[in-house]
Structure formats: C-alpha cells, structure tokens
C-alpha cells in the first residue's frame, strides 16, 4: 500500500535556488503526467493510492497559489519552493528563518556546494546583462575569473564600470560576485537550513554535486572527509541524501554506517542520449575514451549500452623524447576511432582532458567531444576550452547541470552545452514522497 510521506516542501540555499526552481517546475509537470497516465484504466491498489496522493499534491499547490494571489502565474511549481530568509552577518555568520510551519512535512533542501563566481548571487544575471549592454561585461567576467583578493578585483571592476557605480547595492552585488561563496560556506548554510527544519517529518538533502567526497580512503594521517560529512549531515537532522554520479562508491557505505539513506542517481540515460544524437550515424566509427584507469569500468559500460566495440583509456608515461627533463605524456590504451568522445565524471582545470586530446588528434582529423557530469571549471579551464574550440580541437563540452552557469556564460562560450538534471531529480523526489521505488527513475529512463 502506497502512503505519501507527507505534504511536500522544497527549500533551497542561496547556491541552490536556480536548480530548485527547475526541480519544482518539473515536479509539478511530472505529477500531472502521472495523473494522466493513471486516468481511465483499471488500477492496482498501489496505483489508486498514488492517484489519490497526486490529487492531494496538486490541490495543495493550487490552494497555495490562490492564497498567494498567483493564480494567473504561468510558472509551474512556483508554490512548492518555500520562502525562507537567510541572513548573513558582517563576520560571515549565517542565520536562517523559515516562513511557515513544517511540522510533519516531507522537506527537501536543494544546495550546490560549489558555485562559480558569476552565479554567486541571485539576481546577478540582470546585473551582468546591464554590463553587457554597456560593453564592459567581458572585462568584468575576466576580472572575476582571475585569482586575487576581492578588494583588488572590485577596484578593477570599478574602473571599467564607473557609470553603474551609483548605489550601495551595486557595490554589494559586485562584492559578492567577486568573493563568491566557498564550498565550506555553502555547506554551513545548508547545515543550518536543515537544522532549522527540525520539526519536519522527513529531511532530505539534494546535492547533485557532492563536496568533500574525494577523500574516501585513509592513506596517511588525514581526515576521512566522506565519513566526516556523513556525520555532520546526520547531526544536522538529514534522513536521506540524493547525489549524482559520486566520485567513489565507498561514499554510500560511509552514510549507511551512520544510519543515513543515500541515493546515488546515475546520469547514464542523459549522457547516452547526447552521444546517440551526436554520433548515431557514425557509431561504427566511434570510440569512447576515458582519461584514466579509474573511469575504465564506466567507459566499458557506456560502450556496451551504445553497442560499440571501440573504447580506450589514457595512461601517463614518461616522455623519453626529452631525456634531459622528467616529463609525462599521455598515450591511449585501446582504440581511437574516426569520431571520438572523452568522458569523465568531473572537469576541474581541464588539463587532463587537453592531454588526452593531443594523442587522439594524431590519429584522426575530427574534433573531439568532451562529456562530463560535474563542470567545476576551476583555474584556467574556461580559457583552455575557449582556445581548444577556436583551434577546432573540440566540437563542444557537454555537461550535466549539477553546477549551474547562467545564460550569459552559455552565450559567451558556444562550446558549452548543459544537460538539465532537473527532471531526473524531480522524478526522484516524487517517488520518495509517494514511497515508490527510486531505481525505477533511472532504470526505465
């Protein structure tokens, strides 16, 4: 018998607002699709319970929309995302206040621990659009990407954007853009928000990109950060955590050890769809490559799903072409095709990807497609991909939008293509709220 967990409520940290808005729209849309699917045919007992849950969910949404005077608004799902106030004090401490009672509710907190400087503040899009009209936006973006103190960045921004330096709010916005919020600050904000929802029936953390997940094996005198984060989220009151394509499967064990449910969603269906769209006509000449042995099993799985035989991995070896210096070069172990894509779970600086591209292009003239799940783009990654695209070495970089870039970024960098994960996350939240199996979400995709 299917029983809903309770009334649905979604909250977002500052870094997770853009993703949460998309999830809410997709959630309401998916609920209506499920209602239509269940209408007009014989239903099992569980399907009848689900149908009743859908009606209560949609009635609640419409009721809240009418109360708020938003009946005529066309943005679906706008009332599922709940109001909260996040106050940041001058010493960077954070306080969170929720606007309504959450007693007994099924609450989800959406957060993106890593956020690029250009999306560090909600409302930054409008400001950057204004800069674009004034012809200074590119200069500002370049300043924000550089390393250095926020004060120095602000001084340079002020020089190139003097006309807009009129109100204190402009300075405040640019200050936050220049500083951004660190991973540690975003995680602390999410911890406080989760703790604020202490009277909720269930508290689920939705963090598609999971920070502090690299250190899952203790080799020296060092912290096992995966286990530490599991303890922190458990202490804050999280019952359940949703991530996407974790760096290591040991993570699930760390969370289970503290009694916290852990769902790792796979973006396989999203990425396979892109590969089939890009290379469907050339699969017999196509090869899928990975930058190291760690991604080998994933590459083999994707190749099997695509029905191709050609795949390979990159291996770093000493470059004996330069005997006087100890340098490394990447060679491809496996088969390079006429058309090639390089896949990895995340892109940081992009240096490993560039090292892979060079030996591939010695065997084919066709530009390489880069595919990844988590687009960090740290350091000079953006400049690197700009150059590789200009030199026609890459055809594009396809990533899952676990770390959001704004429309201005996408317009500026034609090589960047974002695959929306919102529907997959919305379906997962729906299945959890209705107490339906979560694996069905991605196994049937």
Report in angstroms the alpha-carbon separations of 45 from 36, 311, 345: 17, 47, 40
> So what's the pLDDT on residue 120?
43
Structure token pair of residue 424: 């997959």
pLDDT at 215: 72
DSSP-derived pairing of the beta strands 311-318 and 328-334: antiparallel
The domain spans of the chain are 8-114+182-266+423-443, 117-179, 268-420
**Which pLDDT belongs to residue 329?**
61
Q: How many CB atoms lie within 10 A of CB 6?
A: 16
**Residue ranges of the chain with pLDDT lower than 70?**
1-3, 67-79, 117-180, 216, 316-329, 331-332, 442-445
Could you give the CA distance from residue 237 to residue 424 in angstroms, rounded to a whole number?
24
As a whole number of angstroms, the distance between CA 347 and CA 376 comes to: 6
Same fold yes or no, 8-114+182-266+423-443 and 268-420: yes
pLDDT value of position 132: 52
Domain 268-420: assigned CATH number:
3.40.50.2020
CATH class label, 8-114+182-266+423-443? alpha beta
- d(CA 237, CA 190) in angstroms, rounded, equals 11
Question: Which pLDDT score is estimated for 399?
Answer: 96
Q: What is the pTM of this model?
A: 0.81
Q: Where are the alpha helices (DSSP H) in 68-167?
A: 124-134, 137-145, 150-160
Strand partners, 340: 287
Distance, CA of 229 to CA of 212 (rounded, Å) = 7
């Amino acid at each position: 018998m299917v029983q809903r967990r309770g009334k649905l409520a979604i909250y977002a940290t500052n870094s997770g607002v853009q993703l949460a808005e998309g999830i809410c729209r997709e959630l309401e849309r998916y609920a209506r699709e499920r209602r239509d699917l269940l209408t007009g045919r014989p239903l099992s007992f569980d399907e009848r319970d689900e149908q009743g849950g859908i009606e209560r969910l949609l009635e609640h949404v419409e009721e809240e929309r009418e109360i708020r005077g938003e009946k005529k608004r066309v943005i679906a799902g706008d009332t599922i995302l709940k109001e909260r106030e996040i106050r940041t004090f001058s010493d960077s401490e954070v306080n969170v206040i929720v606007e309504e009672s959450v007693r007994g509710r099924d609450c989800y907190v959406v957060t993106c621990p890593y956020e690029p400087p250009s999306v560090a503040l909600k409302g930054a899009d409008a400001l950057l659009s204004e800069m674009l009209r004034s012809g200074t936006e590119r200069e500002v973006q370049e300043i924000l990407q550089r390393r250095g103190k926020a004060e120095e960045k602000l001084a340079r921004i002020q020089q190139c954007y003097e006309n807009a330096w009129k109100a204190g709010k402009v300075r405040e916005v640019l200050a936050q853009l220049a500083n951004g919020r660190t991973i540690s600050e975003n995680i602390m904000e999410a911890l406080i928000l989760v703790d604020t929802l202490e009277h909720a029936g269930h508290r689920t953390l939705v963090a598609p990109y999971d920070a502090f997940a690299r250190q899952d094996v203790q080799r020296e005198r060092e912290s096992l950060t995966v286990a530490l984060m599991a303890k922190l989220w458990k202490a804050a009151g999280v019952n359940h955590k949703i991530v996407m394509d974790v760096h290591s499967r040991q993570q699930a064990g760390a969370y289970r050890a503290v009694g916290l449910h852990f769902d790792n969603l796979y973006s396989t269906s999203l990425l396979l769809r892109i590969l089939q769209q890009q290379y469907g006509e050339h699969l017999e000449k196509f090869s899928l490559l990975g930058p190291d042995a760690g991604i080998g099993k994933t590459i083999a799985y994707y190749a099997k799903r695509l029905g191709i035989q050609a795949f390979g991995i990159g291996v770093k070896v000493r470059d004996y072409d330069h005997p006087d210096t100890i340098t490394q070069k990447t060679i491809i172990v496996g088969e390079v095709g006429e058309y090639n894509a390089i896949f990895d779970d995340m892109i940081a600086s992009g240096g490993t990807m560039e090292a892979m591209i060079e030996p591939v292009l010695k065997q084919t003239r066709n530009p390489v497609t880069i595919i990844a799940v988590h687009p960090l783009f740290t350091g000079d990654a953006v400049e690197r991909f700009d150059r590789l695209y200009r030199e026609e070495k890459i055809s594009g970089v396809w990533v899952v939008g676990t770390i959001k870039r704004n429309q201005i970024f996408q317009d500026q960098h034609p090589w960047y293509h974002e695959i929306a994960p919102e529907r997959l996350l919305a379906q997962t939240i729906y299945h959890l709220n209705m107490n339906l199996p979560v694996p069905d979400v991605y196994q049937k995709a």
